[in-house]
A and B are shown apart, each in its own frame.
Chain A
Amino acid sequence: MPNLKDIKRRIHSVESTMQITKAMELVASSKFRHAKERAETAQPFFNATYGLMADIAAEDPYFNSVFVHKRSDKTAVLLIVIAGDRGLAGGFNSNVLKMAQARIDEVKAQGGNPVVMPIGQKAVDYFARRDVKVLKTYDHIAEHANIYLAMEMAELVLDTYRRHESLQSVELFYTDYISPIMQEAHQISVIPLKNLADSQPKNRAVEYEPSPEVVFDQLVPQYVAGLIYCGIVESFASEQAARRTAMENATDNAEEMIDNLSLLYNRARQSAITQELTEIVGGANAQG
C-alpha cells in the first residue's frame, strides 16, 4: 500500500505545475487574440501589394526585372526562418525548424550553399549550433514587430541578393495560422517572384508613372517587407495558439493526474482506517 504522505506530496507537486500551465494558458490566450487581429489586418496590405505587382508583371510579357527570373547555375540559397522566442508551445518551433533543416540538407546534397537568417530566439539558438552560415539574426521582435523593421529586413535581403550573384533564391519558412487548433509550417519563395513570372499576360493598358519598371522596382521592397511582416505576425499568432493548446492539454492532464492520485489517496486512507479498526477490534476480542 503506497505511503499516504508520498501521495499527498505528489498531489501538491502536480497542483503547483497545473497552476503554472493554467497561468501560461491564460497569458497565451490574451496574447493570441491580439496577435490574430494583427495577422488579419496585415493581410489586405499584402494582397494589395501583391496584386499590383502581379498586374504589372502580367501586363508586360517581357518583363525583365532581376527579381522575376531565376538566375541559372548559381548555388547559394538564403532561408529566412521564423520561429518563436520561447518554448512550451507544442510542436510549433520544432515543426518549422525541421522543415528548414530538411531544405538545408537538400541544398547541401545538391552541392549548394545554404545561408540562414533566423528570426526568433529559438531559431537563432538552433542555427547557432548547426554547421550553416548565418546572415543576420533577430530575436524578441515578434511581439512588437512593425513594418519598418520588416522593411529593414527586406532591404538587407534585397541588397544581399543584388550583390551576390551566387544567390539563387530566397525562401521564407514560417507557420501559417489556419485555426485556433491548426497551425502549419510553410515554405514560400520570396525571390525569384515565382508566381509573377508564371502569370499570364493580360495586355491591359495601364498608365504607369514614371514607368512600369520604376513602379515595379519600388514595389519589390514593399512586397518583400509585407511578406516578412505577414510571416512574423502569422507565426506569432500561431505560436500563441499552439502554446494555448499545449497548456490546455497540460492542464487537463494535470487534472486527470490529480483525480487519479486523490482516488489512490482516499483508498490508502480508507484501508489504513480499516486496518486500524480491525486491529482495535482484534485487540478488544483478545482481551475479552
Chain B
Amino acid sequence: MKTFLLQIITPDKTLFEGQVVQLTARTTEGDVGILADHTRYAAILKTGALTIKLENGETRTAAVAGGAMKVSDDRTTIITTAAEWAEEIDADWAERSRQDALAKLEAYKDEPDRHQRANLKLQRALNRLRVSSNYSKTLI
C-alpha cells in the first residue's frame, strides 16, 4: 500500500510523525478518509476520534480536541490543541474532568462565556471517555 507522511501536532508535543496508509478524521462536515495522493485539502476538525492505519496493518486511534487538518503534496498535518492515543487516556482523570465540567455548567448558567467554556470542556472529556472505552486495546 502506498503511504504518506502524517504529522499530528499539539502545543505540548508532536503526537505522531511518520508514514501512514490511511487517516480517518471527523471534520465539521462529517468523517473524511485520506489516502496517499489525496488532493490538496483543508478542513476544520471537530472534537472526536481520529484513526490511522499503519503500513503493517495496525490501526491506532486518538482522541483529538478540535483543530484543523491540511493535506499538502508532501505531507498531511493535523493541528490540534490536545490529542492522546486511546490507550494512553487516563479514564479516571477524564471522568473527573467530566464531572468538573458538569458542575461548572451548572454553576455558570448565567455567564455565557464561562458556560460555553465549560461546555467545550465537557465535550473534550466525553470524547476522551468514548475513545478510551471504544478503542483502547485491552491488556488481558
How distant is the Cα of A155 from the Cα of B117 in the complex, in angstroms? 11
Q: Is A208 an interface residue (CB 8 A)?
A: yes
How distant is the Cα of A152 from the Cα of B13 in the complex, in angstroms? 20
Chain A residue, CB-CB nearest to B79: A48
How distant is the Cα of A48 from the Cα of B76 in the complex, in angstroms? 11
Q: Is the CB of B12 within 8 A of A222?
A: no
Number of interchain pairs (Cβ within 8 Å): 79
Flag the segment in B38-46, B48-56, B98-106, B126-134 that touches A: B38-46
Q: Tell me whether A52 and B70 are in contact in the complex, defined as CB-CB below 8 angstroms, given that A206-B40, A209-B41, A215-B44 are known contacts.
A: yes
Contact with A along B96-117 (1 / 0, CB 8 A): 0000000000000000000001
List B residues 63-105 near A (Cβ within 8 Å).
67-68, 70, 77, 79, 81-82
Q: Tell me whether A52 and B11 are in contact in the complex, defined as CB-CB below 8 angstroms, given that A219-B68, A222-B67 are known contacts.
A: no
A41 neighbours in B (Cβ, 8 Å): 11-14
Q: Tell me whether A207 and B82 are in contact in the complex, defined as CB-CB below 8 angstroms, given that A45-B10, A48-B9, A219-B68 are known contacts.
A: no
Total count of chain B residues near the partner, CB < 8 A: 25
A152 neighbours in B (Cβ, 8 Å): 117
Q: Is the CB of A42 within 8 A of B41?
A: no
Q: Is B7 an interface residue (CB 8 A)?
A: yes
Contact with B along A129-166 (1 / 0, CB 8 A): 00000000000000000111001100000000000000
How distant is the Cα of A259 from the Cα of B14 in the complex, in angstroms? 50
Q: Is the CB of B14 within 8 A of A214?
A: no
Q: Is B19 an interface residue (CB 8 A)?
A: no
How distant is the Cα of A204 from the Cα of B32 in the complex, in angstroms? 22
A219 neighbours in B (Cβ, 8 Å): 44, 68
Q: Is B28 an interface residue (CB 8 A)?
A: yes
Chain B residue, CB-CB nearest to A159: B113
How distant is the Cα of A120 from the Cα of B43 in the complex, in angstroms? 36
Q: Is B29 an interface residue (CB 8 A)?
A: yes
Q: Is the CB of A206 within 8 A of B11?
A: no
B41 neighbours in A (Cβ, 8 Å): 206-209
A49 neighbours in B (Cβ, 8 Å): 68, 79
Q: Is the CB of A206 within 8 A of B42?
A: yes
Q: Tell me whether A209 and B28 are in contact in the complex, defined as CB-CB below 8 angstroms, given that A48-B77, A222-B79 are known contacts.
A: yes
How distant is the Cα of A146 from the Cα of B17 in the complex, in angstroms? 22
Q: Is the CB of B43 within 8 A of A151?
A: no
Q: Is the CB of B40 within 8 A of A45?
A: no
Q: Is the CB of A222 within 8 A of B68?
A: yes
Q: Is the CB of B43 within 8 A of A45?
A: no
Q: Is B119 an interface residue (CB 8 A)?
A: no
A55 neighbours in B (Cβ, 8 Å): 42, 70
Contact with B along A46-63 (1 / 0, CB 8 A): 101100100110000000
Q: Is the CB of A209 within 8 A of B29?
A: yes
How distant is the Cα of A210 from the Cα of B13 in the complex, in angstroms? 28
Q: Is B136 an interface residue (CB 8 A)?
A: no
A154 shortest CB reach to chain B, Å? 11
**6 residue pairs A–B, Cβ–Cβ below 8 Å:** A52-B42, A56-B42, A209-B42, A210-B29, A219-B44, A225-B81
Interface set of B (CB-CB < 8 Å, partner A): 7, 9-14, 27-29, 32, 39-44, 67-68, 70, 77, 79, 81-82, 117
Known: A45-B11, A52-B42, A226-B11. 9 other contacts (CB 8 A): A41-B12, A45-B79, A49-B79, A208-B43, A209-B29, A209-B32, A209-B43, A210-B28, A229-B11
Interface set of A (CB-CB < 8 Å, partner B): 38, 41-42, 44-46, 48-49, 52, 55-56, 146-148, 151-152, 204-210, 214-215, 218-219, 222, 225-226, 229
Closest A-B pairs by Cβ, 6 of them: A209-B43, A206-B40, A147-B11, A45-B11, A207-B41, A218-B44
